[in-house]
Structure 1
Amino acid sequence: MKLNRGGSGEHGHHHHHEALKFSNFFFMPERPRDYLVLFTRVSVLTCLIFSVSLVLRITFLSSSSASDYSSSYGLRFSAVPQKALALPPTRSLGPINISHVQFCIAGAAETWLDRSRYTSLWWRNTTRGFVWLDKPVKLPKNNSDNRFSIPVRVSDSGWTRFRFSSSRAAVRIARTIWDSYQLNLPDVRWFVMGDDDTIFFTDNLVKVLAKYDHEQMWYIGGNSESVEQDVMHAYDMAFGGGGFAISRPLAARLANAMDGCLQRYFYFYGSDQRIAACVSEIGVPFTEERGFHQLDIRGDPFGFLAAHPLTPLVSLHHLVFLDSIFPNKNPIESLQTLTKPYNLDPHRILQQVNCHDRKRQWSISISWGYSIQIYSYFLSAKELEKPLQTFKTWRSLRNGPFTFNTRPLKPDPCQRPVTYFMDGAEDVRDSGTKTWYSVGDKNYGYCGKREHSRVTRVKRILVTSMKMAPEYWNKAPRRQCCEVMDGGGRRKEKAMLIRIRKCRSSETI
């Protein structure tokens, strides 16, 4: 009985102890100083309750005001799913190489068998990516032809639901960035877009991309050479035929936003315009690299290729619509010829070097691996750097304007250059190369002047050089120099030897 009066075992004692603790917090004061302790404890609890109430009220007001704001101004806010924005780790460390690039090549089943001749010129076993077609295509079974070993896929059929104003194919091609990203291939740092008639110089592409942090959002390429094309479409846009590169973080955002962009920008003509508009919405600017060439020109590309800007050659496009770059050869044979010196010294291909033969008062311009021009009079280095205008604009077939300066092809045959084209290349010891150039007829007309006829006697030119180290493009660019090694005696009139070398510190051209 006594136990029952005092509580029921351990549980009774526990509840009694808790009651004592709670009552002790608000004990009735018996002495004056105890009133101060009571006041302090009540104040702490009051502040705690007020703070919690304030936080809850601010949260409620914020959500209410955002809703009122969107209702008042017709805006709709939607939370972006975190899963959509989550970037898979690149899982890739160290310097970039070609295995870190995934190509997204736009093609069509109707033309792929023919256009594959261009893609096969640069696609290797180490190349990653796919050619995206609109429908399946039956390929011949020919194990000896590497054209038919290039991986081909059919675009996801989802693209057919989007409306368009002029080009339905542009919708599908723009969405290949979505197709490519969904594959989630490992160790991809860059997605490179291009057409099936675009020629990529992959060593130089890797060299250019190495300048940029692939963990950041980058949109890199080149615009059109014809001003009329840039005005019609955009200056701050990478033209798709010349190819452009998108870093993986940007590709993730693009893949997430692409369908909405296709709906909003249905009125654009090209796939590249749609992608550029979507990139702009993400807030990423266009970064221009002058080695990507859309080649929005018509006619003879000789003048343009013979005066390449001082930057690595990354791509060439539209060659199927231009005159062959080498005389007496078709476009494919011409590109095969250009590939020979490229494979020997990829970072030097098409690099322009200018010099003068002071004894004979000649001006010489070399586009390494491609062509040589010799003028029977002096031209300044600034003039030689300007492309000789042997071409017209892409759309209107006019003489310009272009996005670079040109110099006219003089009507007087005596003021036109004698032209030579590369017809041989080989390695030499100590990391050097030799390239041969033979006189090529450009139908520039006959000049009977003695000075000009002395040039035409030269039928063959040998050019020697050391291979250009990849580090060359990591430094401030400086054009190299060249010098004529023979004195032009009678026995050497039909041949010339030229050496390309680094310019001396105080040397000028």
Structure 2
Amino acid sequence: MSGTALVSRTALLLFLFTSVNLLLHISFSNRTRSFARFTCPNLETVSGPPPGTSPTNLSHLLFGIGGSAKTWEERSALSSLWWDVNSTRGFFWLDEKPPPDEKKMTNGGDTKPGISLPYRVSSPAWTWFRYSRLRPAVRMARIILDSYNLKLPDVRWFVMGDDDTVFFTHNLVSVLASYDHREMWYIGGNSESVEQSVMHGYGTAFGGGGFAVSYPLAEKLVKVLDGCLDRYQNFYGSDERICACITEIGIPLTKEPGFHQFDIKGDAYGLLAAHPMAPLLSLHHVEALAPMFPNNTRIDSLKTLIEPYRLDPRRILQQSVCYDGKRKWSIAVAWGYTIQIYPWPVTAVELLIPLQTFKTWKTESNGPFTFNTRPMPADPCGRPVMYFLDQVEEVGWTGTRTRYKLERWGKSCNNTADYGRVMAIKNIIVTSMKMAPDYWEKAPRRQCCGIMGRGGKNSGNMVIRIRNCRQWETTGI
């Protein structure tokens, strides 16, 4: 063997021996190994709540409701319709401490079930900001910062709204649960009036209708919020400013049609009777609109609407269309609210378009709106016969029975036999199974309905059954 070969073999054996010893040392040594550490200086640390594996529920939502001490006394009655002091988390953020009234509210989280609503006074920092328009908008915009700074545990979503916003929390939880709260989401809706959406932006979630911000987005937003508010001091409302700041982060608005800003004047009947095919999430500006039910106050109207909502929240205001072929009647059911009967054939496409019983918010004109409308005829003989919810009851654990009573909308048409036959129906009873918990998680399909028995020809009552459509069933005249 040559000297060169011997040296090579010796070097190879030495290398193998050293490698084995090093491997044994790494595997069995208890000492800290500095060479085994690895640091990535550019890796962004993600903070906030740990990823949740349980389904989102109401306790994961933190509400930040903007209000005023001056208007609180009258609006607390509205807020108490939807706020459950035993399960709803959050606070009404006021500009100053209201006059003491233990029956109305208590400070902080020390609320009395069924009596008090929780409030906080906004941080005074909002008074230090420059402004050129609507100074209170700065305070309202910083409510998400005030809410975040509470550092409450297990918060997945921050939900913002006004003290004249009515939230339908069961549906809101269901909708937000369909999004991954560990990602950055900005969820809300636009105005109904084009003039308002053009003025404040189609990318803005209008604050009166309410909007939701996921925890990760809120975490980034609060870090840049104050500087951002200073840059956008010329913007009008708090919602427009929040939108601008979120836009700078790079997150777009995700629209959910169940949020209702209600930038309309007059009567919301047409819009409520032809609600979008989506769960009802909120109503705003109800104090500026006519009562939803005839011969009722605004508060009592909301109480009436909330009653069926509590029995079948997913179904509230959802439309079904059916026809009486023999009498050539067209029937549109907005469950939990109203039924319209036309004594002539009307296509489903037309029945699903809202009657324009309202005008735009700012100029009180006949449009345009961000959805199609059809005119409410001035001639009462061109209008549908209307029925409004009168009674609701649960049937077993899985069903409901609602009754709708004939009501007169202004002048009635008594000149034709067709209208007379419809108005002979004094009550309509609607039966249905409760909507499945996963109904809105599937591809949406409007449910069908049918007239049961003889359809009230002699009794003055009609019975309608709402059900899932059959596989090949369509809604046609």
Same fold (TM over 0.5): yes
Residues in 2 aligned to 1:169 and 1:442: alpha-carbon distance in whole angstroms: 40
> Which is further off, 483-492 or 113-122?
483-492
Give the aligned residue type for 2:446: R
Per the TM alignment, residue 135 of structure 1 is displaced from its structure 2 partner at its CA by: 0.6
In structure 1, what is the equivalent of residue 97 of structure 2?
A: 136
Q: 2:161 aligns with which of 175, 191, 194?
A: 194
Give the aligned residue type for 1:497: V
Could you report, residue by residue, the CA deviation over 1:409-438 in whole angstroms, capped at 9, with x for unpaired residues? 123322201111101101012510000100
Per the TM alignment, residue 138 of structure 1 is displaced from its structure 2 partner at its CA by: 2.5
Give the aligned residue type for 1:383: E
Residues in 2 aligned to 1:377 and 1:210: alpha-carbon distance in whole angstroms: 43
Give the aligned residue type for 1:313: L
Could you report, residue by residue, the CA deviation over 1:20-62 in whole angstroms, capped at 9, with x for unpaired residues? xxxxxxxxxxxxx9xxxxxxxxxxxxxxxxxxxxxxxxxxxxx
Per the TM alignment, residue 141 of structure 1 is displaced from its structure 2 partner at its CA by: 2.2
Could you report, residue by residue, the CA deviation over 1:289-317 in whole angstroms, capped at 9, with x for unpaired residues? 00000011110110000000110000000
Q: 1:146 to 1:121 in 2, by over 3 A?
A: farther
Per the TM alignment, residue 157 of structure 1 is displaced from its structure 2 partner at its CA by: 0.6
Could you report, residue by residue, the CA deviation over 1:264-321 in whole angstroms, capped at 9, with x for unpaired residues? 0000010000000000000000100000000111101100000001100000000000
In structure 2, what is the equivalent of residue 42 of structure 1?
A: none
Per the TM alignment, residue 143 of structure 1 is displaced from its structure 2 partner at its CA by: 8.2
In structure 2, what is the equivalent of residue 330 of structure 1?
A: 297
Give the aligned residue type for 1:89: P
Give the aligned residue type for 1:117: A
Residues in 2 aligned to 1:376 and 1:332: alpha-carbon distance in whole angstroms: 33
Residues 1:498 and 2:459 aligned together: no
Structure 1 SS opposite 2:136: helix
The structure having more radius of gyration, on CA atoms, is: 1
Residues 1:107 and 2:67 aligned together: yes
Residues 1:350 and 2:317 aligned together: yes
Residues in 2 aligned to 1:414 and 1:486: alpha-carbon distance in whole angstroms: 28
Structure 2 SS opposite 1:346: coil
Give the aligned residue type for 2:469: C
Could you report, residue by residue, the CA deviation over 1:171-216 in whole angstroms, capped at 9, with x for unpaired residues? 0000011100011110000000000010000010011111111000
Residues 1:460 and 2:421 aligned together: no
Per the TM alignment, residue 452 of structure 1 is displaced from its structure 2 partner at its CA by: 1.0
Gaps of at least 5 residues in structure 1 are 1-32, 34-81
Could you report, residue by residue, the CA deviation over 1:316-352 in whole angstroms, capped at 9, with x for unpaired residues? 0000000000111111000011111011001100101
Residues in 1 aligned to 2:421 and 2:370: alpha-carbon distance in whole angstroms: 36
Q: 1:479 aligns with which of 446, 452, 459?
A: 446
Give the aligned residue type for 2:408: D
The equivalences for 1:301-450 within 5 A come to: 301-429=268-396, 431-450=398-417
Q: 1:489 to 1:251 in 2, by over 3 A?
A: closer
Per the TM alignment, residue 118 of structure 1 is displaced from its structure 2 partner at its CA by: 1.2
Structure 1 SS opposite 2:374: coil
Residues in 2 aligned to 1:172 and 1:390: alpha-carbon distance in whole angstroms: 35
Say whether the 8 Å CA contact 1:353–1:482 is kept in structure 2. Answer: yes
Residues in 1 aligned to 2:295 and 2:378: alpha-carbon distance in whole angstroms: 24
Q: 1:184 aligns with which of 151, 154, 157?
A: 151
In structure 2, what is the equivalent of residue 278 of structure 1?
A: 245
In structure 2, what is the equivalent of residue 62 of structure 1?
A: none
Say whether the 8 Å CA contact 1:486–1:497 is kept in structure 2. Answer: yes
Q: 1:108 to 1:147 in 2, by over 3 A?
A: farther
Say whether the 8 Å CA contact 2:129–2:230 is kept in structure 1. Answer: yes
Residues in 2 aligned to 1:93 and 1:469: alpha-carbon distance in whole angstroms: 22
Give the aligned residue type for 2:89: R
Per the TM alignment, residue 490 of structure 1 is displaced from its structure 2 partner at its CA by: 4.7
Q: 1:227 to 1:489 in 2, by over 3 A?
A: closer
Per the TM alignment, residue 501 of structure 1 is displaced from its structure 2 partner at its CA by: 0.4
Residues in 1 aligned to 2:348 and 2:250: alpha-carbon distance in whole angstroms: 40
Structure 1 SS opposite 2:151: coil
Instruction: From the two aligned structures, give the one with the greater helix fraction.
Output: 1
Per the TM alignment, residue 91 of structure 1 is displaced from its structure 2 partner at its CA by: 6.0
Structure 2 SS opposite 1:338: helix
* CA RMSD across the alignment: 2.1
Residues in 1 aligned to 2:172 and 2:379: alpha-carbon distance in whole angstroms: 40
Number of positions where the alignment pairs a residue of Structure 1 with one of Structure 2? 431
Residues 1:89 and 2:56 aligned together: no
Output the TM-score relative to the length of structure 1: 0.82
Residues 1:98 and 2:89 aligned together: no
Structure 2 SS opposite 1:194: strand
Residues in 1 aligned to 2:153 and 2:51: alpha-carbon distance in whole angstroms: 7
Per the TM alignment, residue 359 of structure 1 is displaced from its structure 2 partner at its CA by: 1.4
Give the aligned residue type for 2:101: P
Per the TM alignment, residue 89 of structure 1 is displaced from its structure 2 partner at its CA by: 2.3
